[in-house]
Structure 1
Amino acid sequence: MQFKHPEILYFLFLLVIPILVHLFQLRRFKKEYFTNVKLLRQLQQQTRKSSTIKKWLLLATRLLLLALLILAFAQPFFNAKQTKSKDNELIVLLDNSFSMQAKGSRGELLKRSIQEILESFPENQTFSLVTNDATFWDIDSKTIQSELQKLEYAALPFELDYLLTQVDSKKPNTKKDYIIITDAIGANSKKIEDISKQNEVYFINPKAENKNNISIEKVTLSQVLDAFYEITIDLKSYGETTEAIPVAVYNKKALIAKSQVTFDRTEKQLKINIPKTAFHGKVILQDNSLQYDNAFYFSISKPKKQNVIIIGTPEKNKFLNKILTENEFVVTNTELAQLNYNSIENQQTIVLNEVVEIPQALSTTLLSFYNKGGSIILIPSQENSLQNLNSFCKNFGSFQFSGLNDSEKQITKISFNHPLYKNVFEKNVSNFQYPKVNKSFTISGNGLPILQFEDKTNFTFSISNKIGNLYIFTAPINKQNSNFQNSPLIVPTFYNMAQAKNNSKTNTFTIGENETLIIDAILSKDEVVSVTNTESSFIPQQQIVNTKVKLAFGDFPAKSGNYNVKQAKNSIQEISFNYPRTESDLSNANTTLFDKTTTVTNVETVLNDLQSKRTDTALWKWFIIGTLLFLLIELLIQKFVK
């Protein structure tokens, strides 16, 4: 036991006063003479004995009363269990990811957690609050009330280790108490066990009552028809869903199509036709669970004519001109001698159609074209020298032409997973009419197969630097050497090789995945492009590559939606952003991660527990009660003891 005011204990010397009073009473007994009767003598002796007992009882009572009163003023107390932790920093880690949109017994998990924080914390208590995408240091419930009530859901997942690192960098070398509020969907941490050993860590786990959920996973352009686009909507059900779910497609605010989907299995696809026009769209579904994954935004830009130069003889170029029609392509046919090198940088695709000799100057120009995002198609000639071909190819990768093979080969394998054939085939085909070649070059080195011979060597393969593509044939495809020009495969192969990557597709990106986009734009030295919609705007990272601009989006934008890429006030391209679907599975809770922490049900319990562990036990009230008790005992002695 300790005292807040030990100096008051000096007043205990006052206990001497009642002792002196009782030992040296000033009043004397007077002698009274009675008749010498035995009974009266006995009564006198008994009265004196009773009086002596009463005096000692009163002395003891008054000594204890005075001692307790003095001790009460000295304010005795017992030390708290965690006295040294009184000055710990209190940190609240609040999960505001989209899974916290789910409804618990008292409403949305995040909103209820915020309300609990505001109601439980005293106005004068300082704490720090860290969420998935925001930090509030050294605040109190009164100053943070407005911002907390406006707190929005974040596209970023609840990454506990990242938040703990943020706290350590802001408040290094300090003892901390943590309150972690999360539904633990997809939670993971390598630090939580060590943190729990060194600090008080409390885990509050708000739970959703309904864990069933339906998500729109993606929207793709599956087919281009004469007057329509066919889009494929991929949907996924988490848990059991028995009701038909309505799905609607909008172009901006205009309703284009409606449908329903019933989930007899976990994943479903819905195909819908939309008008073949520039489309700034979104797909909406309605369910009674999470809202963030009920909308998927997509954009389809108006197809732009692609600039293509075909270098070769007019006779050999005829089949390419039938595929690359003037409705979608601006095709320039030229022989090598008449080639205008300055026009190459304005093209999207260059075709080397059986050029006998590739000059070094052309190789250098095409390498620069490739590095800036252009596509090159190389169809070799039987008359090519290996030295010339390999001199050209060494600029693009570690592959070489080894020699001309005179044996006939059939083209038997299609790489259906190659980006070139995405959405081309409804199913994998193995028994098609095989094209053949009479002579072909042997190739050694790496490349992504597109079409292969029966001996599993490549007929066509591709090389990419992520922005540019090089497509290589290993055999001439003139009619004297091959019947490939008569094969149905030739149309999608050359059409997609010549088509720009972002032309006739849903221009969708996922927030937070730092995806890139290459657009055609000529910018001045200090000019930049921006990404905007009616609610927000941001400037992405950008790299000027001649007549193209490479954009990197990082963690932007903050909200999903349809956006425009703008140069000054002119819209260059329509694009869309969507939230990652990492929070859709409400059954994916990792609560075992917090086994080493103290699990509680609310914030008030945490604050009470910390206060009880760190508040000294005051005893002065008990000493006051003791004082009053002995005062009562003295009164009773005075009244009843004779």
Structure 2
Amino acid sequence: MGFVQTAFIGALAAVAIPVIVHLMFRMRTRRVDLGTVRFLREVLKKNAARKKVKRFLLLSLRIACITLLAALFARPYFVEQQRGSADRTLVLLIDRSASMELRSEGERLIDQAVQQAKQIVAKQGEQARIEWAFFDQEIYPLSDSTADDLSRDGIAAIRAPEISFGGTDFGVALRWARDICIKAAGGEKQLHVFTDFQRSGLDWSDMDVMPSDVQVQLHDLGRDAVNNVAVTTAFATRTMIRPGDATVITATVSNESPFPLNEVSLRLFLRSDRTTFEKERKISVAVGALEEFDFEIDGLQPGLWQGQVEVEVEDELRFDNRKFVALMSAPAWRVLVVNGQPNASAMLSETFFLESALRLAPPGETYAGSPYSPDVVTAEGLEQADFNEYKAVVLANVPDVSDTASKRLETFVESGGGLIVFSGDQVTPQSYHALDAVGLSPGQFDAIQETHDLPWRVQEWDSKSSIFEPFNDPQYGDLHRIAFHAYTRVVPSEDAKVLASFRRGDPLLLEVAKGDGRTLWLTSSCDRSWSDWPRGRLYLPMVHQMLGHLTGLNEGGPVRSVTMDATNAVASETKPGVYDRGHHWDVINPSARESEMDRCSLAEFSEQFALNVSDGNDSEADDGDDAQVASLAPSTIQLRDNEFWHWIALALIGFLCVECFLSNRTTA
């Protein structure tokens, strides 16, 4: 067992406090003989003996509490026993970020790093323990895929990755190496880092101080002068447009080569299911400059358009010469609204406010900027509607849903469609029995709850849900202010997720997943009969957030940009491109920081991570900078996987409860 914060072990001296208190407040008695209290004397003797035992037990509990508290702050962890009888631990970290694709003397930097690492391993004795890992924004330990330490034959077969697009994060690699060195049971410990010392990888994440007994050697494989031209960003000003609308794709080009770019080609290529779109322009960029260039697009046919922006130059790093882009050309999402209580007067219709919120315009009018186009039908029209034409279906106080319609809704939701059900005075357990039979019901329906005095208000909601995320900040709307006068009480099933609830604990909004789609149930109505919600300014954004949650318009829309870096890594994808996620598409590109060729010195690197750098680094530059570096306090505390402080915390809580119980029944 080891301790992360060994200084807190000194706090064990505090166990003297309860001992001193116990000695100072011992019961002092004075003997007085009274003939009339002969029987009372026997009782007092028995009580005194019992209290003496309790006092010593109380003292032991207090000493144990202080001991556990000191251990809690010291953060103990289980030390993994060293495998075999190794007398030396050798940790090898090889940078496999995109910049290591650079070539020197006709060979990639990462290939050179692998060869140098193999040479170091070949000089080690048979008893050396070897831990080898590649890293970019993540760590890739090779020993994780083997049953034991890497064998000599296994190391000889190691090859560098064919290509890598990851960013550089030195912190994540050094944290892994630190854990390996702490777990190693004695002996010499060496850490070798093979990298190009790209400055952009310094400050992505922090780490605890490396143990002082670890000898660190830094192997500099980078080059000071690099001929690199990069497309650092490429994005559409609007990722979702209407067919025929104009849009602009903006590309940013950086020139870190020693020569200016004069009249080189920057090309945009897009393709859809039916056709392609190409556009080219000549650009000029000065040395060290960063310039933006626009591609104007006059109308695209409906569909997903994906492609890339590429600069056609010959440089030393090809991975950043292009960036992927995508945008969606589509009309407003069609939404089928089923009006369960139509009325000759539009103002009294069940879906009057809902229709206006979706159209963003009064009845009979349409706003071109609205993402939704509602088609309103009665309950009878639900039977004939073709659900394949719609992104979502809304049932508003519909009195009855037939078995046929329920099965069609089940198929619609399972294939990725969205369903919203609003309650009302016509919603009963019997009317929605068919939806319950196909697994679209949120639970058991109960009686309608009504109030004539104080209204019900929203108490809690799921702050992580895309529906309520904008409302976590009260300045964008306080959900607590909405007043409800009636709702249908629902007892949630195990499959239902409660997204919002009233102060009395009953659900307001529930979610039921089915196949690739989801169903939202709001236990109140969408008109003014049961709440003042439709008359408030939160009605429109809430309706749009609910539909956006089902149709993929929330959290960035149908086309979302993702960067392959430490802050927004996509572990499942190792190559840039456009990937279909079901409700949306991810456009994944390498980090623009990986195109920055600035390098840091060995002294700057060592100071950043508080490394004890030993002599013998293989760098040809900054040899005079290799020096002992004083330990620096970590800016953030990183938890170890093998700590067991939570068990100590539970034991401490238990001891404190027993101590409180016993102290209330003991006279000190």
TM-score category of the 2 structures, normalised to the smaller one: 0.3 to 0.5
Name the TM-score, length of structure 2 as normaliser.
0.44
* Higher relative contact order, structure no. (Cα contacts within 8 Å, ≥ 6 residues apart): 1
- State which structure, 1 or 2, has the greater radius of gyration over its C-alpha atoms: 1
